[in-house]
Every structure is written in C-alpha cells, then in structure tokens.
A and B are shown apart, each in its own frame.
Chain A
Amino acid sequence: MKKFVDIAVIGGGPAGLAAALEAWRAQPELNILIIERDHEPGGILQQCIHNGFGLHFFGEELTGPEYAGRFIAEVKKTSIEIMTDTMVLELNNERKILAVSAENGLIEIEAKAVVLAMGCRERTRGALNIPGSRPAGVYTAGCAQRLVNMEGYMPGKKVVILGSGDIGLIMARRMTWEGAKVEVVAELMPFSSGLNRNIVQCLVDNNIPLKFNHTVVRVDGRERVEAVTIAEVDPATKRPIPGTEETYECDTLLLSVGLIPENELTNGAGVEMDRITSGAVVDETRQTSIPGVFACGNVLHVHDLVDNVSNEAKLAGLSAAQYVAGGEKKVEKYHSVNATNGVRYAVPQRISADASGKLDVYFRVGNAYRPAKLVVRCGEEVLATRRKAIMTPGEMEKITLDADKITGDITLEMEA
C-alpha cells in the first residue's frame, strides 16, 4: 500500500493529536494522517486514570483518558485520518515512512511534512544494573499501570518502589487502593522528581515512607520476588553505604526511575540529536535538522505536564502546516541556545535569525535552587531574568523572550 499525504504525524498520543489538530485548524484543506501503534489513539494517557491533567490547557482537572478523549473527539470532527494498530518501522531523511499493520500489510507513506510524536519509554532495571536474582515481579511502574488500569490485573500484593517519579507515586496509591501494601519508596536523589501534590496525596495520605538518598542494592527470590533490600547512598558518589541495608519482604519491585524519549526512528532518519534531552535538536518552530520534520512532546524532551506537551505540539503542528503551505524555506542563520551554569538543557536548542515576536524557551535546572534566578544573555546583554522562590529538576520551567532582541547566540544560566 502506498500513501501520499501532506502531513504524517507519527504517534497518536497527546502530542500527535494536538499537532494534527492544530495543523488542520491552520490549513483545513491539508491531507493529515496520524499513525498510531495501539488499538486506539490517546497514547499513555489511556492508562493514566488519575486526575490532574488539563488545569493549564482546559482550566479544569481531568483524568488522562478524559484529557485524551477531548482531543480525540475534536479530531473526529475533522478530515484528519487516524491509522491505528499501525507501527512505523522506518523514517528516512526524505520524509518517507515505512509502516506495517495486520490490516494493510506494509505501507509506504510519502509526506510533505512529518511530525515526530512517539513519546517516551521507561528506564528499566537493566539500565540500573541492580544486583540480585532475576525473578518474576519486577516491573516498571508504567507496565504495572497498564496491567492494573487497562487489563484489570494485580501485578503484586506487597510492593517496594524504586524511584519517586510521578508514575511511581501514582502507582503507590493505585496499588494501595486496590488492596496492595506498598512498603516504601526509595529515591536515589536527595529530592523527588515527582510533583509535591503526588507525594502528599499518594504517599503521605497512605502512610507510605519515602526515603531519599536510598537505592535498591539487592533483589531476592528465585521464582518470584521474595524480598528487596535498600540501602542509603553517599549523596556525592551515589554508592551504597555499607551497614545501612534494610530488607523488605515483598513480592513486587516497581521501578519509576526515569523516562527516555523514544527516538529510534529519529536516529534512523539521521536527525541531529541533543545528548542531554535524548531528543532532536529543534528550532523555535520545532523543526529538526531535517527540513519538514518536526518534533514535539516527550519524544523531544520529557515533560512533566501534558498541558505543556499539548502546547508544544500545537506549535509543531502549526509549523508543519505552514511548511507545507509555504514550501521549504531555507533558514539562513541560526543562533544557538546554550544551557550552562546549573541549567541542564533548553528547548529549542536554536533560534532562526529571522524569528520575531515572543517566543518561549523551556528549560530544566540540574539541582534544586531556592531562591532561584535565571538569566538569559545575548553576549553581554541581559535579555531576560526570571526569579522564583524555588526551581527543581522535576519541574520544567519556561521563559518568554523577545525574538527581535536576539542578535546572536544566547545563554541560559542560574545566578546566585
């Protein structure tokens, strides 16, 4: 099967849906296709049945499926086509896509513009190299979340959680509410990457201890997990401190130790990547190093709020529509956006010299700052300053710049 489309959106999660919708709104005559690997669009939101989504975007608190449902309902009113149960196998640098489905077999798609919206995946036990046996009962939090919320099964009854990322915190409450006992949450860092609200409402509400500067040093159990041992780590080296081991009898270890953008297709196409975000390098329109290929959402950098994903995706979708309508416009010159001195990364990583108007730069700090002061400079000139009572690595921050003032490379840095 062969298909020619104006815009192909890879991934039908929150980013893909918002990007397609915004592109359609800008140019309703365009032929827009969303390619989704699951049975239905919505992505990971379908299993995130807790609330807290949409406060910024919709001004009300929604659950994941409700948030996705709003976009799906909007998309269904348009001419946007959604191919479900379809997996993209390859993307090349000429925006040709090879996909496959049981229904259609191999599908070759040629697109004038491509929006990458594949989301992210979870870091695993292997990536952490946790010593011990290899029994059943070790799950990433998201995998457990799917089993509980989509399939209706309990992956365990007595649980230790490593990592205090939001999915881990949410699953602590979810498992507790379904009758499991969550013994402890161990966090390697001296702070949580999860939201305060989740720590309070998921852990404190259920009397689940959260131990900072702790990690799992051993898993026991030949067939099924029987015990998990955690220990305190030296905050500087992150190595376990001998003698601080505590063993919890349990049948399950859940891991919530970070998310990694899912960029195998992006890499395959030869898109320039950012080593810190593990996502593509993009400009202020969210265009990657390949003209006509845009990226947004968690495949670009891991977000903590879906509301920000939707906003970023709208921008990418609009840019894709403009690209198709206006044809390829060669960008003459880029100014780079450099993150230094406590700023871990910034997106976009570059801004075209002819950009104008207000533009938002998203960034994360590498440590907790309280109070925090971010300064954006272009050469010696201070373009903007942002002060906050606190900035933490878990919270994505935003600063709005006046693009017209950007005359060269800019630098984001934290100042005392």
Chain B
Amino acid sequence: MEVKEMTCIRCPMGCRLTVTKDGDNYTVTGNTCKRGEEYGIQEMSCPMRVVTTSVRVIGGVRPVCSCKTADSVPKAAIDDVLKALAQLRPVAPITIGQVLAEDIAGTGVSLVATANNRAAN
C-alpha cells in the first residue's frame, strides 16, 4: 500500500488530497469534487507533464528557440526529454509548430517549436 499527499491543481481551491494505492485500487480523500479524485489518481498512477523549454538554434536572429512537447509526457521521462533536446541544433528559419524532433527520448511525443526564429542575414 502506498499513500501520497498532494495539492489538487484542477481549481484554485487547492484541496489537500490523500491518495492511497492498494494494488490496482486507488482511494482519494480530501477532495471536494469529482475532478479532484481524477487528478489524484492520475498523479498517483502516472503523472504527466508538458515540457516547455528551448533549443539552441544555428543561424537564427535569436540564439535559442522555445519549444514544447506536443503532448504531455510521463513526469519520470522529463529528464530524458531535456537531455535529448539539449543535443538538438535546428537551423533557422524556424516557424511556430515546426516539428524539431519526433518521438523525443522515446516518449512517442514530438517536440515542436513554439516561436518563430528568422534566419539571420
């Protein structure tokens, strides 16, 4: 059995949840609504995060370009995602939405640019 305390972030209430995992069964207490229960179970079973950061760019007006994982990735995979994208050196011009890497760090999620970066002349 595993017990974890956490703050629900689904609304500004910020309920203090206690989530208990017993085999495949989850119980959430402290929540005041259904969304809190969902959040607690998700955070206990497999917390997911969108990674928003930047990559170094070659030949752009700015030396870096902001990017994000197109979807959320397991929290446990964040470090691997950061390590993998630190090696990327895309070449300007880069446009919003451009895929910078597919399946970043084996997460099955692609990394996309979130800003434009024109080529420096």
Contact = CB atoms under 8 A, between A and B. Distances in A.
Direct contact of A and B (CB under 8 A): yes
Interface of A: 46, 49-51, 61-63, 65-66, 69, 148-152, 174, 177-178, 195-197, 199-201, 204-205, 389-390, 392, 395
B64 A51 contact: no
A205 B49 contact: yes
Contact of B53 (A49, A197, A199, A395): A49
B54, B66, B82, most chain A CB atoms within 10 A: B66
Contacts of A62: 114
B114 A63 contact: yes
A46 B114 CA distance: 10
Interface string B5-24: 01111001110000000000
B74 interface: no
Contacts of A152: 54, 56, 62-64
B12, B49, B50, B68, most chain A CB atoms within 10 A: B12
19 contacts: A49-B53, A49-B115, A63-B66, A65-B66, A65-B116, A69-B115, A150-B64, A151-B64, A152-B62, A177-B51, A196-B7, A196-B14, A197-B9, A200-B6, A201-B49, A204-B6, A390-B13, A392-B12, A395-B12
A195 B7 CA distance: 12
Given A49-B114, A196-B14, A205 B75 contact: yes
Contacts of B51: 177
Interface in B61-106: 62-64, 66, 68, 75, 78, 82, 96
A149 B7 contact: no
A395 B13 CA distance: 11
Nearest to B63: A152
Interface string B43-56: 00000011111101
Contact of B96 (A69, A178, A390): A69
B32 interface: yes
Contacts of B56: 152
A197 B47 CA distance: 13
Contact of B9 (A51, A151, A196, A395): A196
The size class of the interface chain B forms with chain A is 20 to 34
B40 to A, nearest CB: 12
B52 A389 contact: no
A46 B115 CA distance: 8
A132 to B, nearest CB: 32
Given A150-B64, A201-B49, A389-B32, A196 B115 contact: no
A71 to B, nearest CB: 12
A51 B66 contact: no
Contacts of B53: 49, 174, 177-178
Given A200-B9, A392-B12, A65 B54 contact: no
A171 to B, nearest CB: 13
Contacts of B96: 65-66, 69
Nearest to B97: A66
B85 to A, nearest CB: 10
A195 B8 CA distance: 12
A201 B66 contact: no
Interface string B25-60: 000000010000000000000000111111010000
Contacts of A177: 51, 53, 78, 82
Contacts of B9: 195-197, 200-201
A51 B78 CA distance: 15
Interface in B106-121: 114-116
A195 B53 CA distance: 20
Contacts of B13: 389-390
A16 B106 CA distance: 41
Nearest to A198: B9
A174 B54 CA distance: 10
A390 B14 CA distance: 9
A50 B49 CA distance: 12
Contact of A204 (B7, B66, B78): B7
A195 B96 CA distance: 27
Contact of B50 (A61, A151, A174, A395): A61
Contact of B114 (A65, A197, A199): A65
A152 B82 CA distance: 15
Nearest to B47: A205
